[in-house]
Amino acid sequence: MSAQGFTRRGWILFAVMSLVWGVTYLLIKESVASISPPAVVAGRTLLGGLVLLPFAIRSGALKAAWKHWPWVLAFGAVEMAGPFLLLSHAETQLPSGMTGLLVATVPLFAVLIAMMRGDRAALAPIRLTGLLLGFVGVAIVVAGPGLFPQGPGSTVAIGEILLTALLYAIAPFIIAHKLTEVPSIGTITLALFAIGLAYLPIALLTQHELPTVRSAVSLGLLGIVCTALAFVAFFALIREVGPVRAPLFTYINPIVAILLGSLLLAEPVTLGLVAGFPVVLIGCWLAATGGRLRARVDLTTGPVTTAETAEAVVPADDER
C-alpha cells in the first residue's frame, strides 16, 4: 500500500468485498425466511470453518492462531458473534436497502476510533469529504419508496444495525494491531469454529422447522462465499490499505444489493440509484486516495512498498 492511495491489488480486493458482502444482505434475507437467526449464524460459521480447515491445518496456520487465541476470540466476537446475529435478526424487520445504508456508517465509526487512538491522518480534508460524500450518496440511493422500514419493531432493528456497524469498525483495528503476525487463514478458521460451536446449541433449540430449499441454498452460499472466502479477502484488504480505509467498501454494498434485487427479482431501478451511485463512487475514491490519481513517488527511493505500510499509514505528529 502507498501512503497516498490504493494499489492495484487494493482496488481489486476492494471490488471483491464490495460485491461479495453486497450479496450478503440478500442471502441473509432469504435464509431467515425459514431458518432462525441463531441457526443462520451457526450454519454459516461452521460451514465456512469447514471450507478453510484443510488449508489452515496444512499450512500450520491453525496452530499459530491458537497461540494468540484471546485476540482471535475477541476478533470473532466483534466481527462474527455479535454482528451475524444482529444482522440476521434485524433483517426479519428491515429491508436490505435500509440495512445496507446503516451498515455504511462503518467508515465513519472507523474514523472516530482512529481519532480516539490519536491518529488524525484520516481527517485530511479531502478524505473526510470523501467519507461524508459517500454516506450522502448511499442515503440518496436508498431514499426510494419501499426501502425505509415501518412498524415498532424497526426501531430496535435500526439500533441492532448501528451496533453492528460499530463492531465492524472495531474489528479491523484488532487485526491490524493485534493479529498482524498470525496467518489470516488460521485466525479466520479458529474464530469461525469458536463462534459456530457456541451458537450450535441455541440453533438447535430455536430451529423448529425444516428450511426451504431456497433458504438452505442461501445459507450455503453465505457460509462458503460470503464467510470463508470473503474473510480471506477482507484480511488481505486490511493489510493492504489499513483499518481505516478498508471498510470503505460498505458504501458500495447496499448498491450491489439493490442492483441484484433489480436484476434477479425485477425490482425497479429508482432515480435515487441512478443519482446516488456516482456520488458513492466519487466519495470512495476521494476517501481512499485523497484525490490523487496516482500514489506519490519519492524519486530517490521509489514508491512506498508493502513493508513500509506501518510507517506510511500514520504520519508523525509534525506531518499531520
Q: pLDDT tens digits for 168-202?
A: 989 988 988 898 888 989 999 999 999 999 999 99
How many domains does the chain divide into? 1
Q: Which of 57, 60, 32 shows the shortest CA–CA distance to 44?
A: 32
Query: Three-state SS for 222?
Result: helix
Q: Which of 254, 222, 235 shows the shortest CA–CA distance to 106?
A: 254
Provide the pLDDT for residue 195. 96
Q: Would 291 be classed as within a structural domain?
A: yes
Name the band, by pLDDT with cuts 50, 70 and 90, for residue 318.
Answer: very low
- Supply the DSSP symbol for 212: P
Q: Would 1 be classed as within a structural domain?
A: no
Q: Would 81 be classed as within a structural domain?
A: yes
- Supply the DSSP symbol for 211: P
Domain range enclosing 19: 8-319
Cell numbers linked to 113: 476510533
Euclidean distance between the first and the last CA atom of the chain, given in angstroms as a whole number: 19
Q: Which of 29, 24, 87, 46 shows the shortest CA–CA distance to 214?
A: 29
Name the band, by pLDDT with cuts 50, 70 and 90, for residue 58.
Answer: very high
Q: Would 3 be classed as within a structural domain?
A: no
For 217, counting Cβ atoms within 10 Å of its Cβ (0-12 exposed, 13-18 middle, 19+ buried), the class is middle
pLDDT tens by residue, 26-35: 899 889 999 9
Provide the pLDDT for residue 2. 43
> Residue 150 pLDDT > 80, yes or no?
no
CA distance 242 to 176: 7
Q: Would 72 be classed as within a structural domain?
A: yes
Q: Which of 132, 136, 75, 129 shows the shortest CA–CA distance to 108?
A: 132
8 A C-beta contact, residue 298 and residue 159 = no
Residue with cell 488460521: 186
8 A C-beta contact, residue 277 and residue 141 = yes
8 A C-beta contact, residue 25 and residue 265 = no
Q: Would 233 be classed as within a structural domain?
A: yes
Provide the pLDDT for residue 320. 34
* Mean pLDDT (whole number) for 66-75: 94
Query: Which position has the higher pLDDT, 299 or 143?
Result: 143
> Residue 68 pLDDT > 90, yes or no?
yes
CA distance 219 to 212: 11
* Mean pLDDT (whole number) for 40-61: 94
Provide the pLDDT for residue 244. 73
Name the band, by pLDDT with cuts 50, 70 and 90, for residue 71.
Answer: very high
For 193, counting Cβ atoms within 10 Å of its Cβ (0-12 exposed, 13-18 middle, 19+ buried), the class is buried
What residues are paired with 302 via a beta bridge?
298
Q: In 10 A of CB 179, how many CB atoms? A: 21
pLDDT tens by residue, 76-133: 999 999 999 999 898 888 776 677 777 877 887 887 787 788 777 767 888 788 888 8
> Residue 284 pLDDT > 80, yes or no?
no
* Mean pLDDT (whole number) for 294-311: 38
Q: In 10 A of CB 66, how many CB atoms? A: 12
Q: Would 109 be classed as within a structural domain?
A: yes
Q: In 10 A of CB 140, how many CB atoms? A: 20
- What is the reported pTM? 0.76
Query: Which position has the higher pLDDT, 211 or 316?
Result: 211
Name the band, by pLDDT with cuts 50, 70 and 90, for residue 204.
Answer: very high
Provide the pLDDT for residue 270. 66
Q: Would 138 be classed as within a structural domain?
A: yes
8 A C-beta contact, residue 73 and residue 194 = yes
Q: Which of 170, 187, 166, 156 shows the shortest CA–CA distance to 67?
A: 187
Provide the pLDDT for residue 205. 95
Average pLDDT, the chain: 80
